[in-house]
């Protein structure tokens, strides 16, 4: 009876490990690049990022996402409560890109993301960003971002 319980317990443990292995994402590395604007208005800061996950070998991207956000600088009154922002991610297979443009509220963000087929052999991703206040001279110079599998 004791042997049967041990065997049953062992089978349950093995089954749980298999389920965990199948459910949890498998990737070798998480690679990211973060930037903020270099011409910051005194009361605002704009932040941009690109992030990617590589395959288990670490030589190709299998997932990418990018963000663009803006926040008030602590202690200062923001000069505006919304900005027109955009993200463009290039480097995907067949010249494809991820692009999004929208009005973003203060302390909020915008996001683009996609899974990438491992067979597309994507090993370099590039992000470009814009942020400006419509009908004014207020704009931000957000540095581009890039990541490679070898970062």
Q: Which domains does the chain have, with CATH numbers?
A: 26-148 (2.60.40)
Compute the average pLDDT of residues 46-52. Answer: 94
What is the mean pLDDT of the segment spanning 66-84?
A: 91
Going by pLDDT thresholds of 50, 70 and 90, the confidence category of residue 42 is confident
Average pLDDT over residues 55-59: 87
Write out pLDDT tens, residues 81-98.
999 999 999 999 888 999
**pTM, entire model:** 0.77
4 has pLDDT over 50: yes
* Per-residue confidence band for 3, with pLDDT thresholds at 50, 70 and 90: low
Please give the pLDDT value at position 23: 46
Distance, in Å, from the CA atom of 110 to the CA atom of 66, rounded to the nearest integer, reads: 8
Determine the Cα–Cα distance for residues 139 and 136; give it in Å rounded to an integer.
Answer: 8
| The token pair that represents 151 in the structure block | 């970062």
CA distance 122 to 90: 10
């Amino acid at each position: 009876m004791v042997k049967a319980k041990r065997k049953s317990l062992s089978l349950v443990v093995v089954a749980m490990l298999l389920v965990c292995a199948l459910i949890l994402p498998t990737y070798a590395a998480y690679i990211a690049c973060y930037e903020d604007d270099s011409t910051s208005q005194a009361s605002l800061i704009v932040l941009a990022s690109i992030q990617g996950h590589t395959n288990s070998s670490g030589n190709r991207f299998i997932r990418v996402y990018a963000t663009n956000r803006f926040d008030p600088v602590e202690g200062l009154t923001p000069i505006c409560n919304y900005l027109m922002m955009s993200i463009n991610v290039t480097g995907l297979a067949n010249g494809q890109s991820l692009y999004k443009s929208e009005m973003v509220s203060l302390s909020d963000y915008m996001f683009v993301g996609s899974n990438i087929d491992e067979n597309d052999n994507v090993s370099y991703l590039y992000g470009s960003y814009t942020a400006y206040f419509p009908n004014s001279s207020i704009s931000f110079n957000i540095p581009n971002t890039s990541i490679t599998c070898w970062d």
